[in-house]
Amino acid sequence: MTQTLKLSWTRFAFCFAVIGIVPALLITSNINSRDSWAATAAVCLLFLSLVVFFSLGWARLRKANAAQPILATETDRIRRLLVGPFVPAAVWFASTILAIIALAVASALLGRAA
């Protein structure tokens, strides 16, 4: 017998808490360093973008699971629901990468001016 998915928000939060250790360690290690603020901000921006994007996907997954239970073997359906439509996902990640690049360029320009 195949298992259905257990999709509590607690599981989602636990996964991103584990992933969130990396930005937290970066922030605490660079607390007194003024040179690496851009790298810290870029990592935090990427982490926040991932949290928001996958939160929306997790909500889609929970809604679909409530309508019709999703089996653990339906990996393609899970991926489609978690990522969502391709074009908005591509725009989301492209805009995140562009914001990180803009942050890096701005920090380089501010570093040169100082």
| Tens-digit pLDDT profile for residues 34-81 | 666 777 888 889 999 999 999 999 999 999 999 999 998 999 999 999
Which domain, by its residues, includes 67?
A: 9-113
Eight-state DSSP code of residue 25:
H
pLDDT at 35: 64
pLDDT at 105: 87
Q: Looking at the domain assignment, is residue 61 inside a domain? A: yes
pLDDT at 31: 65
Shortest CA distance to 17 belongs to which of 58, 56, 47, 59? 47
- What are the Cα distances from residue 86, in Å, to 2, 76, 78, 81? 29, 14, 14, 11
Q: Which pTM was predicted?
A: 0.85
Q: Looking at the domain assignment, is residue 1 inside a domain? A: no
Specify the number of domains making up the chain.
Answer: 1
Q: In terms of pLDDT, which residue wins out, 91 or 36?
A: 91
Q: Looking at the domain assignment, is residue 29 inside a domain? A: yes
